[in-house]
């Protein structure tokens, strides 16, 4: 029976993927002729925001009557702060940013994920006797605490049979982790891109690296306030349509799309390529997002980062109406 269930699940997944490709391929440039609406969009200053930068560069937002102003920030926490301070109407950030907020407030809605990535890496120095993950026992590992990297480090250690008490963690910002491991202040680190790529490059043959997420993606979301969503549902739909056009552009001409991102962010080709190779730029709302947010919420509670003892219902934080109207196959959340 289990084999039959797996086979059925695989067939469904393949069919959904094919339908999704057909759907995206049928997107046609919009001929919007209504009023021009201003939208303030808080964007993470990095490659994960590729669909946003492409939509802006290719005038897809303008094609749907949206005059979009980008407010660029170095972290999703800062874009979220802008959202709740009414400095932007829509903000981008990792799902991990919104999990602790869900314990504190309920006045925001997830509109969709614009990227999923498996780009975290655990990098170590070979000259510290590290040749495989189990060699990390007794070592000093750098991590940016209370981030996605911190969450995934726990699962990485557990998967490789290492207890948290068997390693020493050093809390540093992603950029500082690069210098710490290169200088030998720490033995290993788990880090985001492009910092992981830069670390491997600087360590050279003395470096060794492993995927840090055990095959599990995390999400880059676009989120807005309840007030904006309820008063501007058509703007939300037009915003999503523009991002779908950007997704279509990436699939049709990935080289040109990547070049736009490199130009927009003033980044080297090899840095952007390292992130793009491990990132899927598709607009979606899927069941795995809910599961991941629940697991992260449990992690927050287990580590006493919140005094709450009950999991939020993350279905209450997701606005599915917009994406269901413009691309129903992109919504696979059970509801």
Domains located in the chain, CATH noted: 34-118+218-330 (3.40.190.10), 121-211 (3.40.190.10)
pLDDT band for position 282 (50/70/90)?
A: very high
User: Per-residue pLDDT tens for 118-142?
Assistant: 999 999 999 999 999 999 999 999 9
49-69 mean pLDDT? 97
Whole-structure pTM value? 0.84
pLDDT value at residue 100? 94
235-263 mean pLDDT? 97
pLDDT value at residue 97? 93
SS3 track for the chain: CHHHHHHHHHHHHHHHHHHHHHHHHCCCCCCCCCCCEEEEEEEECCHHHHHHHHHHHCCHHHHCCEEEEEEEECCHHHHHHHHHCCCCCEEEEEHHHHHHHHCCCCCEEEEEEEEEECCCEEEEEHHHCCCCHHHHCCCEEEECCCCHHHHHHHHHHHHCCCCHHHCEEEECCHHHHHHHHHCCCCCEEEECCCHHHHHHHHHHHHEEEEECCCCCCEEEEEEEEHHHHHHCHHHHHHHHHHHHHHHHHHHHCHHHHHHHHHHHHCCCHHHHHHHHCCEECCCEECHHHHHHHHHHHHHHHHCCCCCCCCCCCHHHHECCHHHHHHCHHHECCCC
Could you give the percent of the chain with pLDDT greater than 90?
80
Residue 10 has pLDDT above 60, yes or no: no
User: Per-residue pLDDT tens for 76-105?
Assistant: 889 999 999 999 999 999 999 999 999 999
197-203 mean pLDDT? 94
């Amino acid at each position: 029976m289990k084999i039959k269930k797996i086979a059925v699940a695989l067939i469904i997944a393949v069919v959904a993927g094919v339908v999704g490709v057909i759907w995206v391929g049928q997107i046609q440039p919009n001929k919007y002729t209504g009023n021009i609406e201003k939208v303030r969009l808080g964007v993470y200053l990095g490659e994960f925001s590729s669909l946003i930068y492409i939509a802006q560069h290719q005038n897809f937002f303008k094609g749907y009557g949206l005059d979009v102003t980008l407010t660029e920030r170095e972290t999703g926490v800062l874009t979220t702060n802008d959202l709740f301070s009414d400095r932007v109407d829509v903000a981008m950030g990792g799902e991990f940013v919104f999990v602790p907020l869900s314990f504190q407030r309920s006045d925001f809605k997830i509109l969709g994920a614009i990227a999923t990535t498996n780009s975290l890496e655990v990098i170590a120095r070979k000259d510290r006797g590290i040749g495989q993950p189990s060699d990390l026992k007794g070592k000093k590992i750098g991590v940016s605490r209370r981030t996605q990297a911190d969450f995934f480090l726990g699962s990485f250690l557990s998967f490789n049979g290492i207890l948290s008490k068997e390693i020493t963690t050093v809390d540093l910002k992603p950029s500082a982790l690069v210098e710490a491991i290169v200088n030998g202040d720490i033995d290993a680190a788990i880090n985001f891109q492009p910092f992981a790529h830069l670390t491997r490059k600087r360590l050279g043959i003395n470096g060794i690296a492993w995927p840090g997420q055990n095959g599990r993606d995390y999400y880059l979301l676009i989120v807005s306030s309840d007030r904006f969503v309820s008063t501007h549902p058509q703007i939300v739909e037009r915003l999503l349509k523009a991002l779908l056009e950007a997704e279509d552009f990436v699939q049709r001409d990935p080289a040109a799309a990547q070049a736009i991102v490199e130009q927009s962010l003033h980044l080297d080709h090899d840095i952007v390529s390292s992130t793009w190779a491990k990132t899927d730029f598709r607009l979606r709302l899927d069941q795995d997002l809910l599961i991941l947010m629940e697991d992260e919420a449990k992690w927050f509670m287990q580590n006493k980062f919140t005094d709450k003892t009950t999991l939020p219902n993350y279905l209450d934080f997701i606005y599915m109406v917009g994406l269901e109207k413009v691309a129903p196959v992109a919504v696979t959340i059970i509801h």
